[in-house]
Amino acid sequence: MAQTPAQMPTSVDQSDRKVPINLRQSGPTPVQMLISTRVRKSPYWHLSMEAGCWRATVYNRMYHPRGYVKPEDGGAMVEYDALVNHVTMWNVAVERQIQVIGPDAEAFVNYVITRDAARIKPMHGKYVILCNEQGGILNDPVLLRLSETEFWFSLSDSDLMFWLQGVNVGKKFDVQINEIDVSPVQIQGPKSEALLVDLVGDAIKDVPVYGLLEAKVGGRDVVISQSGFSGEKGYEIYLRDATLYAEDMWYAVLEAGKKHNLMVIAPAHHRRIAAGILSWGQDLDAETLPFQCNLGYQVPRLKTADYIGKARLEEVRAQLEAGTPPYKQTLVGLKLGGKPIEDYANDFWLISGEAGDDALGYVTSPWYSPELGCNIAMGYVPIAQSTLGTRLKVHLPDLYTETAGQAVEAEVVEMPFRPSVNPNAREIAKAEGRDAAF
């Protein structure tokens, strides 16, 4: 007899976690989101509404647009087409900017990130992680270095400012740590450079990956980085004094974008999955060790300075090299069957062994890849089932299966699923046959 969602197996071993991932299969359970003053609206919120936003989530205690094209008009896959063929703008003001500024800025940042802050030059950035003393990942932001004494943490979905301020209560570095009135948008897609040339001139052509450029857009001061959450060619425009000048910048981009077929879309999780880009709170959290989720390259062997979590992370690396990993589950890439998954998953769907019996893992990020012609996903499985080529089963909702209640075939594959136009450090290192960490 087919299992209903409430009857699906949930006996995944999470005994190495303090708080297990909630694996209840509750489905979409639609509710109306209450818009209130408890959750912040970004400076671009009303502009996203003008652009057709019809649904949202909450990210960093701020409302976050997550859909512009309605399902009856093609939904998120129409937005995907715009991203991979033209150029798109995303409201990502939820990437709140935490400024660390002062004489000890480099020393403080070096103490809270795993990578070597001294090797980040002014007007450059890096993707970084910050860990707690147990090695769990608290946040995986893009770190921008504006000058010798000023850094911005462009946050993923966890409130890091209070933690940074708390760290400095005891350490007393000579820095100021505060959120600042800077809000980014992402400009992503193959025509992004051409659009940026029209906005700020040819200087953008000389900005390397994670390089920064001070400029004006719509007459307002911005910092532009060559970075993004898609794996496509892309940039982020960080608007200063965003609460005052959001319209000026936004409308300037829309006007310049007309000849490039610019489309305002939601953050492209379908494309970032293909690029192997992680989403904090979905693919990793404060109990996830970097080695569990393909971020081991963020833990350098050669960084001599102390940093929070260093002792534990070096201990874990030694355990791994000795063949005694301290965790049960590890992140893998999956190709899987079923009907095309063309929207966000409502639950962490369960993974079973090839026989399709008791659950042993769970999917974190699934979507359909038009280029590969199949569904792809990230998910956690026991280390013994993480070898490339391992055959598994995934328990999809009936919406995506040919036969109700029947799990679909899946195979562990390598990530990223397809090459990135803007490859991350792990991809670059792998292509060059070296260790990515510094």
Q: Which of 180, 250, 190 is nearest to 217 (CA)?
A: 250
Residues of the chain with pLDDT under 50: 1-8, 434-438
Helix (H, G, I), strand (E, B) or coil at 127: strand
Asked if the bond preceding 184 is cis, omega within 30° of 0, the reply is: no
What are the distances in angstroms from CA 126 to CA 64, 144, 298, 333, 369? 24, 7, 11, 24, 28
Place of tokens 């949202």: 56
In a domain, residue 172? The reply is: no
pLDDT value for 11: 78
Same domain, 410 and 334: yes
The Cα–Cα gap between 220 and 9 comes to: 54
In a domain, residue 239? The reply is: yes
- DSSP type of residue 309: T
Question: Residues for the chain: how many in total?
Answer: 438
Beta bridge partners of 264: 89
Q: Domain span at residue 223?
A: 182-260
In a domain, residue 303? The reply is: no
Residues 6+ apart with CB under 8 A from 87: 187, 188, 189, 190, 191, 192, 194, 195, 257, 260, 261, 262, 263
Strand intervals (E) in 92-218: 97-101, 124-127, 130-131, 137-139, 142-147, 150-154, 176-179, 182-188, 212-217
The Cα–Cα gap between 122 and 147 comes to: 5
Residue 419 is part of a domain; what is its CATH number?
Answer: 2.40.30.110
In degrees, rounded to 5, the angle at the alpha carbon of residue 246 between the alpha carbons of residues 68 and 80 is 25
Domain boundary among 225, 260, 295: 260
Helix (H) or strand (E) holding 221: strand 220-225
In a domain, residue 63? The reply is: no
Same domain, 336 and 248: no
Strand intervals (E) in 155-219: 176-179, 182-188, 212-217
Helix (H) or strand (E) holding 398: none
In a domain, residue 157? The reply is: no
User: Do the Cβ atoms of 96 and 179 come closer than 8 Å?
Assistant: yes
In a domain, residue 186? The reply is: yes
Tell me the two tokens of residue 393. 């089963």
DSSP string, 367-379: EEETTTTEEEEEE
In a domain, residue 415? The reply is: yes
Domain boundary among 260, 281, 299: 260
In a domain, residue 256? The reply is: yes
Task: Render pLDDT for 50-109 as a digit per residue (tens, 0 to 9).
Answer: 999 999 999 999 999 999 999 999 999 999 999 999 999 999 999 999 999 999 999 999
What is the identity of the amino acid at 132?
N
pLDDT value for 430: 63
Number of folded domains that form the chain: 2
Residue 197 is part of a domain; what is its CATH number?
Answer: 3.30.1360.120
pLDDT value for 429: 59
pLDDT value for 431: 66
pLDDT value for 6: 47
